[in-house]
Amino acid sequence: MPELRDIIVDKKCEVIGITQTWATLAINDAKLCIEGYTMFRKDRSIFKGGGLILYVSHNVSASIHDKLMNNNFEESSWCNVELQQKRLRIGLCYRSPSSDAENDRQLQDLMEEAANRAGMHHVIILGDFNFPQTDYENENLAARDDDTASLFFHKT
C-alpha cells in the first residue's frame, strides 16, 4: 500500500482500478483507503483471491451504480462520475482465467447493460479479463470466431 500511495501521489491519478486485491472482511477499510480518494471495494465472497478496489479522486463527484453492481457477474464494481455536467460510467471487472462459459456470458451481458444504461454518457471499463489469445496493444486475436475470447474482443 505505501508503494501504491506513492505512485498515485506522483502520477496524480484521478481513477485507479485494482484487481486481485485478495482482501477479505478481516482487512478493514482503513488499511486500504487512500487519502483524497473515494474507495469502492468489493471482496470475493466465496473463494480465496480475486477482489476489486476502484479509487476515484475527491476532485470529482463519484457514486456507486447499484443496478450494475447487482448483476450476475460477481466480480465487478461500477460507479458514476460527474465531470462538468457530463457523466462518465466507470466499471472495473475481474475475469478469472478459469472462468466458465456461463460466467463469460454474464460478463458480456454486464458490459452490454452498462453501455445501454449509459445513454448519452461515456463508459470506461477497466480490468483483468485473462484472455491470453488477445493482444490489445496490436489489436490482434489468436482465436476462432466462435471462441469466447473472440466474442469478448469483438464486443469491446
Domain boundaries, the chain: 2-155
pLDDT in tens, 53-85: 999 999 989 998 888 887 888 899 999 998 777
Per-residue confidence band for 148, with pLDDT thresholds at 50, 70 and 90: confident
Buried b (16+ CB within 10 A) or exposed e, 34-66: beebbebbbbbeeeeebbbbbbbbeeeebeebe
pLDDT of residue 156: 57
Domain 2-155, CATH: 3.60.10.10
